[in-house]
């Protein structure tokens, strides 16, 4: 597991923004690919992977039900449409 990725779900992180989600996705893709920064010929694939992981993370956080959390609206401040 990537030690620099912090827990993004409540109550560990009461409010999570898109920057937090993207940072976690970037760390994951870096770990899996073995590249801190991709070469020019891999940049597009790397960025697509970061965006896909970030979107999956947003969906996960939106769908998680934290018991005792009140069942309120999603806790991250996403700007997705």
- Helices (H), ranges, 1-81: 18-33, 43-63
Using 50, 70 and 90 to split pLDDT, how confident is the model at 69?
Answer: low
**Residue 77 predicted with pLDDT over 50:** yes
- pLDDT, residue 7, reads 82
Task: State how far the Cα of 74 lies from the Cα of 23, in Å rounded to an integer.
Answer: 19
State both tokens at 57: 């993370």
- pLDDT, residue 49, reads 98
- pLDDT, residue 55, reads 98
DSSP-based three-state secondary structure for 16: strand
Span 18-47, average pLDDT: 95
CB 30 within 8 A of CB 49: no
- pLDDT, residue 39, reads 96
Task: State how far the Cα of 56 lies from the Cα of 78, in Å rounded to an integer.
Answer: 13
**Residue 61 predicted with pLDDT over 70:** yes
């Amino acid at each position: 597991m990537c030690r620099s990725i912090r827990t993004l779900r409540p109550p560990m992180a009461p409010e999570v923004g898109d920057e937090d989600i993207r940072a976690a996705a970037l760390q994951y893709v870096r770990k899996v690919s073995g590249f801190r920064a991709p070469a020019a010929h891999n940049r597009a694939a790397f960025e697509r992977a970061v965006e896909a992981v970030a979107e999956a993370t947003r969906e996960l956080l939106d769908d998680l039900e934290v018991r005792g959390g009140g069942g309120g609206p999603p806790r991250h401040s996403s700007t997705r449409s």
